[in-house]
Amino acid sequence: MKNILILALLIVGLKSYAQLGTIRGKIVDKQSETPIEGATIEVLEQDGKSTSSAADGTFTLTEVPLGRVSVRISFLGFESTVVSELEITSGKNVILNIGLTETYNKLEEVVISSGNRSKAKALNTMAAVSARQFTTEEVNRYAGGRSDVSRLASNFAGVSNADDSRNDIVIRGNSPSGLLWRIEGVPVPSPNHFSTLGTTGSPVSALNPNVLANSDFITSAFPAEYGNAIGGVFDLGFRKGNKDEYEFMAGLAAFPGAEFVAEGPLLRKNGGSFLVAARYGIAGSLGLAGTAAQPNYNDVSFNIDFGKSKFGNFSIFGISGNSDIEFLGRDIDKDDLFAAEDTDSKVTSSFYSFGLKHVLDIGSKSYLKTIVSTSSSAETYKENRYFDFQTPNQNILLYTDTDNQEDRFTISTLFNSKINRKLTLRTGALYEAFSLDANLRDREEQSDADGDGYPDLNTFLNTNGSYSVFQPYLQTQYRLTEKLTLNSGIHGQYFSVNEQFVIEPRAALTYAINPKNSISVGYGLHHQNIAAPLLFLEENVSGTLVQTNRDLDLVQSQHFVVGYDVRLADKWRAKAEIYYQAIDNAAVERNPTSYSSLTEGADFVFSRDKTSLVSNGKGSNRGLELTLEKFFSKGYHGLITGSFFDSKYEGSDGIERDSPFNNRYVVNILGGKEFVIGKAKKNIFSINSKLTTAGGRFYTPVDLAASNAAGYQIEDETRAFSKQYDAYFRLDVKFGFKLNSKSKKRSHQFYIDFQNVTNNKNIFADRYNRLTQSVNRVDQIGFQPDFGYRFQF
């Protein structure tokens, strides 16, 4: 009760403002990432409205007019930056963290660069190709996003996700399992609700955009600090809470659900802060889950910064999520995306990742960052099936029993030093210790060896052990000339299961032809271990269960990239990239078949009968990506991306086939317009839209005769991935209102997002129905509204 009273007094006692807002943030040297003291921060729309950064690089600008403003950041000897169209609201301070680049020559004239242009570049200065930054403002702005950062990424060139039921990120034709998730600098398990072992996506994200800072998304030839991934990297950071005053947000939305965020100062003398956010899903209650069952999910995220002391800067961060759903056959429609009428099943899923981070400045141009973290992901799935369904002989039996838990202990250390204005060095190491308890029993596609009239319940996974991954790296950035920059590095990876150690060179060269045009080339060698559900599969060898896939090699992928970037006009940018990826050592069967591990990863489960595999598979991805972007200015923005690619693989039969991720093309067209409304011209009405079209996925047709004889779906492997579904098309339109209080530090936001407004029937799958003994087409979710309200105070 005492805590409730304290919270109430804090809320009531919040300071009032007269249609003014606040900008706060931190200015650092982009190369050394150390604070810059004395940088000038000024609001261009207000003469005399400026301040300077403190010794720790932080600054605060108060009494900034509501609406859109531009801010210039400058410091002697560094390139100045102008950040345009910052949105100032009455309900929340604006966070602005900026890195300045030291000029190449000490006495040369300082160049003014566009902050909007920098959004197209990664925060990680050593990610020079196939990388871009994304902002939480984009997550909340774009139509059709469901407040899901994975779905936001699908708007970028090179990314495909033509599946409304899941948020898997398919990058340049690679399996989603090739993606590396990182939070605050350390790898984490899939940060999604209803996630399963070995996968990276699911129907619902557990990442809360309200706690995310601007982060990086890298699709190829990533820098040397990233490893154990062949598809791409999502490198996420948590923002710090407001170190000056308390702020709160309460909201209710269809997909994020009910949410609450609190942040404020902590240990004021050290400049510390806290940020805590929690959500509880309500999509199922509103009938928007795509199934008749009721999904339950909730998540909590936090970042607690203890500020800077003589021992350095300590912070703790974390994210956790829980989810469950129960499917009852009597309630299931025959076209349900996730269940069948003759089964009862229950799913539970949970994960967490907690970390302690320490950053120690070493001199004025170097720092040492150390992170110790622990994470875990767990899932259970139990399915009971009714045999002889709806007959007098109906009998219910346990059909599938899954119980998996993967724990991880991680230590990461990174040393970054700006040697001089031309050379920056970064080196470090990452150690991950895994503990895996995986158990799977299933009757799917099993014979009746015991003669009881039903498929046998056999064991496929029965693992309780540990393994480790060790990854040292060294990378540098060298400015060869004012226009030419070389990023190069070496990454090593040791995998204890097969005791394999690999060395991977990485390099990228960028040439600025002039202030508006640049060209870049990149190369990277990357490896990744086979997913755990395949690696630890059990095979019955003479009555003994043996893990016959343990010695599989790390899958290898070489990335080649060439890019061209041009600033067409003020706030307009275009980019083109061509790429080629050569993949080796994929897992395939010993006998000539069409199977390859490169086809796995876009479902809740992996294959259960692929044992005694060998590392002889190959694959390739090649394509062209085009981006035309209008950064927000003059009340509107736009983004057009086109990906045109070809993704192939070879099984042990040596036949080159289309991969299941080979859509061949994806085109996104996004745009939006804001209108200033109200007498005081401080409120905003916005319209945003998104149009997506993509080629259909390739699939293996069902062998109906064989399926009827067996009683379960059997695919015609002689025609593996020879058929292509119809093209995908979806149009979303989103309307929003943002109302700023005239006298209080409060703001209200409303939105309604009409998804698939044309109610287009995009195909989900052609699948065998064992009850009707026919192949039925199942469509994805049709027209669906999303809506939300947020109150910031």
Average pLDDT of the segment spanning 87-102: 85
pLDDT of residue 5: 42
Q: Both tokens of residue 26?
A: 């931190």
pLDDT at 12: 42
Q: Which of 77-91, 327-341, 525-539 has the lowest mean pLDDT?
A: 327-341
For position 335, what pLDDT does the model report? 66
DSSP β-bridge partners for residue 484:
511
Question: For residue 19, what pLDDT is reported?
Answer: 62
Between CA 427 and CA 377 the distance in angstroms is 29
At residue 81, the pLDDT reads 85
- For the stretch 143-192, pLDDT in tens is 888 889 999 899 999 999 878 888 999 999 999 999 999 999 999 999 99
pLDDT tops 60 at residue 644: yes
User: Is residue 12 within a helix (H) or strand (E), and if so which, with residue range?
Assistant: helix 2-12
Question: Residue 356 class from Cβ within 10 Å (0-12 exposed, 13-18 middle, 19+ buried)?
Answer: middle
- Of the given ranges (108-112, 293-297, 528-532, 630-634), which has the lowest mean pLDDT? 108-112
Share of the chain above pLDDT 70, in %: 95
Q: What is the pLDDT of residue 580?
A: 98
Q: Which residues contact 558 (CB under 8 A, 6 or more apart)?
A: 523, 524, 525, 526, 581, 582
pLDDT tens digits, one per residue of 376-414:
999 999 999 999 888 898 999 999 999 999 999 999 999
For position 562, what pLDDT does the model report?
A: 98
Neighbouring CB atoms inside 10 A of 671's CB total 17
pTM above 0.85, yes or no: yes
Do the beta carbons of residue 376 and residue 352 sit within 8 Å? Answer: yes
* Residue 155 in tokens: 């708007």
In the chain, the amino acid numbered 545 is: L
Find the range with the poorest average confidence among 179-193, 310-324, 494-508, 730-744: 730-744
Q: Is 612 within 8 Å of 549 (Cβ atoms)?
A: yes
pLDDT-derived band of residue 106, with 50, 70 and 90 as boundaries?
A: low
Record the tokens describing residue 706, joined without a space.
Answer: 């064989």
Q: What one-letter code names the amino acid at 84?
A: S
pLDDT tens-digit readout, 767-792? 898 888 999 898 888 899 999 999 99
What is the per-residue pLDDT across 279-335, written as a single tens digit (0 to 9) for each?
999 987 777 766 778 899 999 999 999 998 989 999 999 999 999 999 888 887 766
Closest CA to 727 of 701, 703, 759, 762: 762
d(CA 547, CA 543): 13
Alpha carbon distance 353, 186 (integer Å): 10
Amino acid at 754: F
Q: What is the pLDDT of residues 15-60, one digit of tens each?
A: 433 468 888 889 998 888 889 999 999 998 888 788 999 988 899 8
Return the higher-pLDDT residue of 682 and 694: 694
CA atoms within 13 A on the CB side of 507: 4
Q: Are 322 and 380 in contact (CB under 8 A)?
A: no
Q: How far apart are CA 478 and CA 423, in angstroms?
A: 5
Cα(304)–Cα(302) distance, rounded to whole angstroms?
Answer: 7
pLDDT at residue number 745? 84
pLDDT value of residue 290? 67
Banded model confidence at residue 430, pLDDT cuts 50, 70, 90: very high
Q: What is the pLDDT of residue 289?
A: 67
Mean pLDDT along residues 707-731: 93
Spatial CB neighbours of 478, under 8 Å, sequence gap ≥ 6: 422, 423, 424, 485, 486, 488
Q: What integer pLDDT is reported at residue 629 of this predicted model?
A: 95
C-alpha atoms less than 13 angstroms from C-alpha of 754 in its C-beta half-sphere: 10
Task: Flag whether pLDDT at 703 surpasses 50.
Answer: yes
Parallel/antiparallel/unpaired status of strands 204-205 and 192-193: antiparallel
Q: Which residues pair with 114 in a beta bridge?
A: 82
Residue type for position 751? Y
Residue scoring higher pLDDT (213 or 162): 213
pLDDT for the residue 340: 82
Q: Average pLDDT for residues 484-507, to the nearest whole number?
A: 97
Residue 563 contacts residue 523 (beta carbons within 8 Å)? no
What is the rounded distance in angstroms from the CA atom of residue 180 to the CA atom of residue 170?
12
